[in-house]
Amino acid sequence: MPCLPLFFVAHARSGDKGDSQTLSLIPYDAADYHLLGEAVTPERVKRHFGGLVTGAVTRYDLPKLAAYTFVLEGALQGGVNLSLALDTHGKSRSAVMLALEIALPDGHDAFARRKRWLAEERRDVAER
């Protein structure tokens, strides 16, 4: 099966509490909720973030919202007040999450979304 980054299938939000990062993953189409559930496991997320996460990764399934929330422990270098990182709240980590590639069935809407996005990017570059 071909793969695409989550960016083309879902959007994400991030937050922080102490040294823990929270990331919510919400599919553009609720019909993709189960596909994301199979592809985006806590183990895959921990592997994807590598050394940025020193603790456990827990996933909370929110089927009535068609969303998932992940808690990444030990992800903020001690928390907002202790960290020397540029992004102490970890807000940019939602973009890291959306870079995770997942397999999608042929003909999935995400491929058309990617094609439109690439065309817009080319148009923007040509206009500069």
CA 120 to chain centre: 22
Residues recorded for the chain? 128
Query: pLDDT band at residue 47, thresholds of 50, 70 and 90?
Result: very high
Per-residue pLDDT tens over the stretch 50-98: 988 999 999 999 999 999 999 998 877 655 544 444 444 456 788 899 9
Does residue 112 carry a pLDDT above 70?
Answer: yes
Between CA 13 and CA 97 the distance in angstroms is 10
DSSP lists the bridge partners of residue 22 as 15, 71
User: What's this model's pTM, rounded to 2 decimal places?
Assistant: 0.84
3-class state of residue 54 by DSSP: coil
HEC secondary structure over 69-123 = EEEECCCCCCCCCCCCCCCCCCCCHHHHHHCCEEECCCCCHHHHHHHHHHHHHHH
The dihedral formed by the CA atoms of 5, 10, 11 and 13, expressed in degrees to the nearest 10: -100
Q: What is the mean pLDDT of residues 46-50?
A: 94
Between CA 127 and CA 6 the distance in angstroms is 28
Per-residue pLDDT tens over the stretch 6-36: 999 999 998 877 778 889 999 999 999 999 9
Between CA 75 and CA 127 the distance in angstroms is 40
- The pLDDT assigned to 7 comes to 94
